[in-house]
Every structure is written in C-alpha cells, then in structure tokens.
C-alpha cells in the first residue's frame, strides 16, 4: 500500500510551506516508507537530540534549516548540549568549539525550540500526558516517556526529531499504535530479597540485565514494589536503553499500562519467561565495571541522565554521613544536571554542602559531549548503568560502577571502594 498523505502533508512536500518544511517532509515521507507506514499522524510535542553533539554536519544541518525559515509547529524541548552554556570557559571548552556549539543552540532556538538543554525532559518542563503522541529523541527520555508516563513515541533519531517538530507529523506505526505496546518477554524476579528492591543500586543493574536480554523487544518485569520511585525507574530505563534498544518496558503494578500482568501482555502469553535470580544480578553488576577494586580513581561522575532535585538530596545525605571528609585532593567529583533542578538547589543549603564536599555541579551537558574530564582522567566511577556502559568506548576510560554510597566513599579515599557484592544474603 502506498503512503497516503493529507492535503497539508502534500502542501509541505510540494514546497508550498517553504523550503524547510519541504525538506523535513521529504525525510518524513522516506522514513514512513522505510517503516512501511500507510499514513502519518499528528504529534503534539517534540524533544530534539540533534543539538546534543557538535559536528560540522550537525551544525550545517541546523543552520540550513534555520536559514530556510524553519519553525516548529509543536512545543519542542532541547536535549543536553555540548557545553555548560554559562560556565564553559572554566570547563575546558575551546572558544572556537564553544562558539560553534552556541551557534547550534541559537539555530534551534530560532526555529522556536525551548532551550531546556537536558536529557531528562520529563523532569518538570512540558512533561507529556498519558496517551499523548510525541516525537522524542534521546534513548533514556524515550523509554521514560513510553514506560513511566504512558506517552507514545518511537525512537526518533537525530534529524527525524526536528523534522517531526517542523512538520508536526510522524509515520503512523510502531509504539504510537496500541497493539505494538504489548509486552513480549516476561522477567520474573525469583529469590530476590525485598530489602534489595529498596536499594537504588539495584535498578540500573536490573536495567542492564533486562536490556541486554530483551534487545529491542518489550520487556515486562514482575516483582517490583509499588513504591518503586521515579528516579529508580529512570535509572532502570536508561540502563535498559543502553545495553539494548529498549524503548518501552512495563513493570507490573508500577507503570501505567501494566496495572496487571494480563494488561501488560494484552491478555496474550509471553513469548518467553526469563527468571532473574541473585546470581544473574550479581553477574550483571560485575559486568558494569571494567576497573578493579582498590585502583586509584580520577573522577566520580553522577547525573547520567541529569540529576533530579531528589537525587541531589539523596547525595547530600550520603555526603553528610562522611562527617566532613572531602573529595580526595586532585580528584574530580562532577554532577551533571539541568537548569530546573539547579534552580531548586539554589533555594536550599544543598549547593553549599556539595561545594564544601568538593563537588562541581555542571549544567546543560554531559561528559560524552563536552570535554569536562581532562585527558589525564583514566579511571571514572559512577552510579549510572548507562554511563558505565558507554564510558569505556565513549571516553576511553576504565569505569567502576557502584552505589551512590560507594561513589562518595571512593571519592573521599581516592581509590575505588566497591562493596564486593553490595547485597549480603543474595
């Protein structure tokens, strides 16, 4: 069946809405053909990752669109960007690079995008509604929007995200359609003690394991408590979307499209049942580290995805338990976050406490797209499954994965201190 376009789609394709809309619609139509979609559907929000990396081709693309007069048709937020827009001078960004990155951000702002500059666009600004069709990029945001919020988006890559925002249209297929949101694999927690389910460190480990096993299928997790926090679901999803191509997961009794097991599978039988026992969790936990216990540590990096206000508060509690001890001399302790969390932080004492400990709070960006870590940094520790997964390739460092408490303790001693296995009794 050929693709059926609306009159307005056709007008854009024919160039009657300007060159930018025509270019964007051409890409959208070709992608609809790739997907085998028969028509396009409206989206009412977009999130743009095209702004997150700086390359000559990305800048050329953005400035060409802006120069052609592109305007987004729906409220559109921006992903994290290649620099801290306020503090880049102190953070190792070369002025010529900064100049290009700022030009890129301005090009998207000129198109009407809101410069939120965060990979956690679900935290407080234009949070999508249940059932809302959106066009989001950024793998952790996609999985969060679909799974935790029940909004509907496919994995829109760079370029397609802004083309969706400019046209307000996406191919009618994939996770926009109810029948494609049915769970496929069932992950059952077996013999996992309830105390472990309360630990934040459990969630990225579970996400890594689920993502690696599910790849691009839709996993359903049974056995998580109803008290699972949004930060825990954020960490789970980010890790699952890194180790695999997970764009949607269901957690029975926790996420909105899985009030029951039957609802998660739309009444059908799982294609496969995978039992998760403590042994598998332990192996996944070990797999997230490439550095060794006791090795000298150069930096701790937190906030992948960007730290929320509540994550800052949890960190401050852990730091207080160190009773005034500070980050080991010469070591870096970076926390990546967005302007919204930072604004809340400024209204409390937390920022002072963190600074006194020796932590640096960085806005708008990410260690993978901004040179926040000096070349001498070889060993990094994090509590993020996503960061642990990407750091060896993306940063050329060895990485240690640990709980927030492990990260803080290690920062104070200057060496990696992981509890050999953080969950006694498993």
Residues in touch with another protein (CB under 8 A): 23, 26-27, 30-31, 34-35, 49-50, 52-53, 55-58, 60-61, 137-139, 142, 154-161, 215-216, 241-245, 290, 368, 390, 392-394, 396
Residue from 35, 43, 14 nearest 26 by CA = 14
Please tell me the total number of residues recorded for the chain in this structure: 426
Choose between 108 and 368: whose C-beta lies nearer to another protein.
368
Q: How far is the CB of 242 from another protein (least distance, A)?
A: 5
Following CA atoms 352, 355, 357, 358 in sequence, which dihedral angle do they give, to the nearest 10 degrees? -170
CA dist 261 → 11, 36, 192, 267 (Å)? 45, 31, 19, 8
DSSP 393: H
Task: Rank residues 381 and 397 by Cβ distance to another protein and give the closer one.
Answer: 397
Give the DSSP letter of residue 46. Answer: E
* Owner of token pair 């995008």: 113
Closest CB to another protein among residues 127, 217: 217
Q: How far is the CB of 422 from another protein (least distance, A)?
A: 22
Q: Which of 143, 102, 98, 106 is nearest to 122 (CA)?
A: 143
DSSP H helices in 54-147: 56-67, 95-110, 139-144
The 3-state DSSP class for residue 207 equals helix
Of 240 and 412, the one with the shorter C-beta distance to another protein is 240
CB of 115 to another protein, least distance (A): 19
Cα(62)–Cα(59) distance, integer angstroms = 5
Query: Which is closer to another protein, CB of 163 or CB of 331?
Result: 163
In the complex, least distance from residue 216 CB atom to another protein, rounded to whole angstroms? 7
Q: Cβ distance 152 to 146 under 8 Å?
A: yes
Q: Is the dihedral of CA 368, 315, 124, 223 positive or negative?
A: positive
Q: Residue 285 Cβ, how far from another protein at the closest point, in Å?
A: 15
Minimum Å gap between C-beta 291 and another protein is: 12
Q: What is the DSSP letter of 149?
A: I
Which residue, 261, 285, 290, is CA-closest to 273? 261
Give the Å distances, CA to CA, from 70 to 14, 64, 79, 126, 159: 15, 9, 19, 22, 13
Output the smallest distance, CB 396 to another protein, in A.
Answer: 8
Question: Of the candidates 245, 236, 183, which has an alpha carbon nearest to the alpha carbon of residue 213?
Answer: 245
3-state secondary structure of 421: coil
Closest distance to another protein from the beta carbon of 170 (Å): 11
Q: What are phi and psi of 269, to 5 degrees?
A: -95, 140
Least distance from another protein to the Cβ atom of residue 368, Å: 7
Nearer to another protein, 35 or 328 (CB): 35
Q: Which is nearer to another protein, 324 or 393 (CB)?
A: 393
* In the complex, minimum distance from the CB of residue 235 to another protein, in angstroms, rounded to a whole number: 16
CB of 145 or CB of 404, closer to another protein? 145
Q: Which is nearer to another protein, 144 or 368 (CB)?
A: 368
Cis geometry, peptide bond prior to residue 184 (ω within 30 degrees of 0): no
CB of 35 to another protein, least distance (A): 6
Considering the complex, state which of residue 27 and residue 102 has its C-beta at the smaller distance from another protein. 27
Distance in angstroms (rounded) separating the CA atoms of residues 175 and 8:
24
- Strands (E) in 165-323, as ranges, are 169-171, 185-189, 219-222, 250-251, 272-276, 299-307
Nearer to another protein, 173 or 228 (CB): 173
């Amino acid at each position: 069946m050929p693709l059926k376009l609306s009159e307005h789609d056709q007008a854009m394709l024919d160039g009657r809405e300007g060159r930018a809309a025509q270019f964007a619609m051409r890409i959208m139509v070709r992608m609809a053909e790739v997907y085998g979609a028969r028509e396009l559907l409206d989206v009412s929000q977009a999130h743009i990752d095209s702004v997150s990396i700086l390359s000559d081709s990305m800048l050329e693309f953005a400035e060409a669109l802006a120069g052609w007069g592109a305007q987004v048709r729906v409220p559109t937020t921006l992903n994290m960007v290649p620099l801290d827009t306020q503090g880049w001078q102190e953070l190792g960004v070369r002025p010529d690079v900064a100049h290009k990155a700022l030009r890129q951000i301005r090009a998207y702002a000129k198109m009407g995008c809101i410069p939120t500059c965060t990979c956690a666009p679900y935290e407080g600004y234009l949070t999508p509604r249940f059932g809302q069709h959106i066009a989001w990029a950024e793998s952790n945001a996609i999985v969060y929007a679909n799974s935790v919020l029940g909004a509907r988006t496919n994995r829109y890559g760079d370029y397609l995200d802004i083309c969706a925002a400019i046209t307000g249209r996406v191919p009618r297929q994939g996770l926009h359609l109810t029948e494609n949101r049915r769970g496929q694999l069932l992950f059952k927690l077996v013999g996992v003690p309830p105390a472990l389910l309360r630990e934040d460190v459990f969630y990225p480990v579970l996400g890594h394991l689920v993502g690696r096993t599910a790849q691009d299928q839709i996993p359903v997790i049974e056995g998580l408590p109803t008290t699972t926090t949004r930060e825990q679901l954020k960490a789970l999803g980010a890790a699952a979307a890194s180790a695999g191509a997970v764009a949607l997961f269901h957690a029975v009794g926790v996420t909105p499209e899985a009030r029951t097991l039957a609802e998660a599978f739309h009444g059908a039988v799982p294609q496969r049942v995978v039992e998760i026992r403590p042994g598998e969790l332990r192996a996944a936990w070990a797999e997230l580290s490439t550095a060794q216990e006791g090795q000298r540590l150069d930096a701790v990096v937190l906030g992948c995805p960007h730290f929320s206000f509540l994550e800052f508060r949890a960190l401050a509690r852990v730091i207080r338990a160190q009773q005034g001890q500070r980050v080991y001399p010469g070591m870096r302790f970076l926390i990546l976050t967005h302007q919204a969390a930072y604004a809340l932080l400024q209204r409390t004492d937390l920022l002072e406490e963190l600074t006194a400990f020796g932590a640096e709070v960085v806005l708008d960006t990410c260690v993978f797209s901004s040179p926040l870590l000096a070349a001498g940094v070889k060993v990094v520790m994090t509590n993020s499954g996503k960061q642990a997964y990407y750091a060896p390739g993306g940063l050329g460092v060895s990485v240690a994965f640990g709980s927030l408490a492990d990260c803080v303790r290690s920062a104070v001693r200057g060496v990696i201190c992981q509890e050999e296995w953080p969950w006694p009794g498993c």
